[in-house]
Amino acid sequence: MKRVVITGLGAVTPIGIGRDKYWNSLFRGKSGIDYITRFDTEKYDTKIGAEIKDFSPEDFMDRKEARRMDRFTQYAMAGTSLALEDGDIKLEKLDRERIGVVIGSGIGGMETLEKEHSKLLERGPKRVSPLFIPMMISNMAPGQISMVYGIKGPSFAITTACASSTHAIGESFRMIQRGIADLIITGGSEGAITPISLAGFNSMKALSTRNEEPTKASRPFDKERDGFVIGEGAGILILEELNHALDRGATIYGEIIGYGATSDAYHITAPDPEAGGAKRAMELALKDGKIHFSNIDYINAHGTSTYYNDKLETLAIKKAFKEHAYNLAISSTKSMTGHLLGAAGGIEAIATILAIKEGIIPPTINYENPDESCDLNYTPNTLIKRDIKYAISNSLGFGGHNASILLKKYME
């Protein structure tokens, strides 16, 4: 099997656009959560979210083309532009038939759907835009990236709710391992802070209603957690076959060596109460990478700040890592970014590989009240400096989808 390395990072997040701004905010414990400004939340139980407030599509693409894209596709395009620049990738010098694009999105073009549905109700069917379908569908993020950059290798979308990005990264890893592609642009994008999304998650009682303290609302593993905070953005990574990267003199952030994917087969939204699926995803990633669980230094947890997710992810870690679970450093960067749904795994993979490269474990902020069912080391409130050789990033999605990737410090 071929070795697969990470050579470019593009982050479009509520706490910063670009690798450095995102990373600096993470290790400083900066929250990107505030009151939602995009629409009136007066009638909503939840009035807070993690919006990206300094994003201008024209910084990354032609203005006319941007108007033909939903917000989630704009974020994916921006993340791709940043990742290609970060990786110093000159596409004109590469075989674009050996390059792929695999992007995850849990919801796709929800903003476009709402806008065009309003037109239908208010003005009739003939006023619905002919661009409605191609702007809304989830595959249009990889489709637009492929068209704009002339990429002719494998191109597809993955939609597995909040596990979408991690599945996308894992499947890209597999394709490069097996020689199907030399380089893949992968990760995820989401732009679902919209009226109906907020209403739907509120109806499920999934969102935090800590409206009086927005920056403290996302508090993974804390006993007083009351739900997740919806976020938006994109996390795009360049995965590359090792020799292909070395031949072009690439900077290598780290290596991906394992991937595990499982299903709970239990419930449409609730996790398996025995945590079997999440446990097996981590175990499969370890087996794939031929690494014993005792060698793992850090886990970037899914850690949504919902009662059952945090409790049962903790249980899964204990079952997978046994006594070593108490030696692990764990953190949930969702405490700062909110939950980017299908894009979460993308930005969290970036956080994990930078943690390995920099030897810094970002904190879980807002951890104030210990929970007896969440009794591991969640890196509360302050970063930890630690040499990290191996780390796992977890994503767990509605529908029982679980995905884990195993990342490693790069050594020649």
Q: Is residue 344 part of a domain?
A: yes
CA dihedral 89, 95, 98, 99 (to 10 degrees): 30
pTM of the entire predicted model: 0.98
Contact 186, 168 (CB under 8 A): yes
351, part of any domain: yes
Beta strands in 167-220 (DSSP E): 183-190
> Would you list the DSSP string of 324-377?
GGGT-EEE-THHHH-B-GGGHHHHHHHHHHHHHHHTEEPPBTT--S-BTTB-S-
- In the chain, how many domains are there? 1
In this structure, what token pair is assigned to residue 28? Answer: 């400083």
**Is 82 a domain residue?**
yes
Average pLDDT, the chain: 98
Q: Please tell me the distance from the alpha carbon of residue 287 to that of residue 266, in angstroms, as a whole number.
A: 24
Read off the tokens for 72. Answer: 């989630």
Q: Look up the domain containing 20 and give its range.
A: 1-400
Backbone angles phi, psi at 407, to 5 degrees: -110, 150
**3-state SS, one letter per residue, for 124-167:** CHHHCCCCHHHHHCCCHHHHHHHHHHCCCCCEEEECECECHHHH
Classify residue 410: in a domain, yes or no: no
The whole-angstrom separation of Cα 34 and Cα 107 is: 22
| pLDDT for position 234 | 99
Whether 412 shows a pLDDT value over 90: the answer reads: no
How much is the pLDDT for 106?
Answer: 98
Residue 86 in contact with residue 130, Cβ under 8 Å?
A: no
Write the pLDDT tens digit of every residue in 310-349.
Answer: 999 999 999 999 999 999 999 999 999 999 999 999 999 9
Amino acid at 346: G
The residue-averaged pLDDT of 195-216 equals: 98
In the structure encoding, which two tokens stand for residue 49, read together? 């979210």
pLDDT, residue 405, reads 99
Q: Is the pLDDT of residue 163 over 90?
A: yes
* DSSP annotation string for 67-129: TTS-HHHHHHHHHHHHHHHHTT--GGGS-GGGEEEEEE-SS-SHHHHHHHHHHHHHH-GGGS-
Residues known to be catalytic:
162
204, part of any domain: yes
Q: Judge whether 174 lies within some domain.
A: yes
Q: Look at residue 409 and tell me if it is in a domain.
A: no
Distances (CA, A) of 204 to 199, 268, 269, 305: 9, 12, 9, 15
CATH assignment of the domain containing 297: 3.40.47.10
> Within a domain: residue 412?
no
Whether 307 has a pLDDT exceeding 90, the answer reads yes
> In angstroms, how far is CA 146 from the centroid of its own chain?
20
Tokens of 48: 């807070």
